Amino acid sequence: MNIFLHRDDLRTHDNRGLKKASENGETVPVYIDDPRIRKNTGRNKKAFRKKGLKQLDSRYRRNRSQLHYRKGKTKGELEKIIGENNVEKIFYNRSYTPLKRKIEAEIEELDVETHGFQDRLLVEPGELSKEYGTFSPFYREWKKIKKSKPAERPENFAENPEISEKIPGKEASADIPEAGEEAGLKRWKDFRDNRLEKYRDRRDEIARPNSVSRLSMYYSSGMLGLRKVLEDVENLIDRDEDSSRIRNYAKYRNELAWREFFYQVLWHNPGTVEENYRNFENAVEWQNSQEELEAWKEGRTGVPFVDAGMRELLESGYMHNRTRQNVASFLTKHLMIDWREGARFFRKHLVDHDTASNIGGWQWAASTGTDSVSIRIFNPVKQGRKYDSEAEYIKHWIPELRGLDPDSIHNWVEMSQEERNKYDLDYPDPIINFNQRYHVGKKMFENALGR
């Protein structure tokens, strides 16, 4: 028999490694819950994955098979399975983060034939002519590279050898979406048929939760095939004649490429999981105030747009990209707290946590990464006014502010103490002098850059 090892690919559709395994003979699907990965996974993502594993198991059971779940170090568990069964070959899809590459190297040491496949990325870093440090040139080449077609769903599964443990459940701390490939495909089709044609125009309408696809958690746990999505997007681009709609479809392809860009950066620079991507002349002198960090984590900084984002994260395990950028910039520039604190907190709460995008996004927003602007400081007051003009998003996540009109909410940081006192709300005053901190934060980066 052959083993297909599910990793970040909890699906049977458009799964290249699984398809290859089943073409090679009867396949036993296995998932190994490795403690090294578990340690780096937050509660919401764990819960989402566990639900996804159960869905995957049900799908296999409909084909008279099952998903074999084991807990332990990947190589050790595979050795046990090989020792007890007649395993000829092991198939898996490649991953690109340092820890998962390490685990892959261990799999390759096993005493059976092993085969790794490209699946998690449309274009692997090695397919590009060189390493890219900024997105635009990366995208120009990425777009030209021919991508594979979606893999067909296989059916050749072995009936049950006795190798499975029971898949455990896990409670989330947030209200997380439905998991599994059926949920992923359903959400994609709904987005594709109803909202993709306006994606570029509406993606920053932050108060409308469905202005974006909210598929990141399905991509992150591999519950939705990328080739399937890209094929649909490119068919729309080729067949539609309306240039405005085409621009909207193309923007979605561009966003998928951001994900691939950050994987490419991490693959070439595995140390950036912990280290700055950018070389500074002097060390960045982070201030790391514990009190300010706690206020940021709790969504109680007194800057409504930032707090709304953080509360969205705490309650739903998700945050809109616009607020991710703002809360990250605020933590690193206004509060002058090390980006690694923020990245760890995101990892703890995000259902869609993905090492490459998280580290890439944090370093980009902290100006330690790949942003082509040298020191970018978001102004969360202006951003709130622009992208949430009626303060609907803010009011949704901060009930204490629901009684205020949008102007007063956006002015909260700038109004006098006396005015704020008049409202007598259970919502904090800004924890910092907002305008002064902008300059202090900027100076901290200028010093690091030796200016």
* Interface with ligand FAD (CB under 6 A): 203, 212-216, 219-220, 255-256, 258-259, 262, 321, 324-325, 328, 346, 350, 352-354, 357-358, 361-362, 365
Nearer to ligand FAD, 57 or 232 (CB): 232
Q: Which two tokens stand for residue 288?
A: 């790391």
Round to whole Å and give the CA distance between 168 and 236. 41
Write down the least CB distance from residue 225 to ligand FAD, Å: 13
Contact residues for 236 (Cβ-Cβ < 8 A; gap 6+): 192, 196, 245, 246, 249
3-state secondary structure 135-195: HHHHHHHHHHCCCCCCCCCCCCECCCCCCCECCCCCCCCCCCCCCCHHHHHHHHHHHHHHC
Nearer to ligand FAD, 68 or 320 (CB): 320
Using alpha carbons only, how large is the chain's radius of gyration in Å?
A: 23
Q: Which two tokens stand for residue 227?
A: 């080739």
Write down the least CB distance from residue 326 to ligand FAD, Å: 9
Q: Which residue has the closest beta carbon to ligand FAD?
A: 361
Write down the least CB distance from residue 350 to ligand FAD, Å: 5
Write down the least CB distance from residue 310 to ligand FAD, Å: 12
**DSSP states along 277-322:** SS--SS-------HHHHHHHHHT-SS-HHHHHHHHHHHHHS---HH
Write down the least CB distance from residue 379 to ligand FAD, Å: 16
Nearer to ligand FAD, 12 or 370 (CB): 370
Q: How many residues does the chain have?
A: 451
Write down the least CB distance from residue 251 to ligand FAD, Å: 9
Nearer to ligand FAD, 341 or 354 (CB): 354
Round to whole Å and give the CA distance between 208 and 186. 19
Nearer to ligand FAD, 74 or 357 (CB): 357
Contact residues for 308 (Cβ-Cβ < 8 A; gap 6+): 299, 323, 388, 393, 394, 396, 397, 398
Give alpha helix (H) positions in 366-433: 380-387, 392-397, 406-411, 417-423
Nearer to ligand FAD, 66 or 323 (CB): 323
Query: N- to C-terminal Cα distance for the chain?
Result: 63
Write down the least CB distance from residue 245 to ligand FAD, Å: 16
Nearer to ligand FAD, 87 or 356 (CB): 356
Write down the least CB distance from residue 199 to ligand FAD, Å: 7
Nearer to ligand FAD, 22 or 264 (CB): 264
Round to whole Å and give the CA distance between 224 and 155. 18
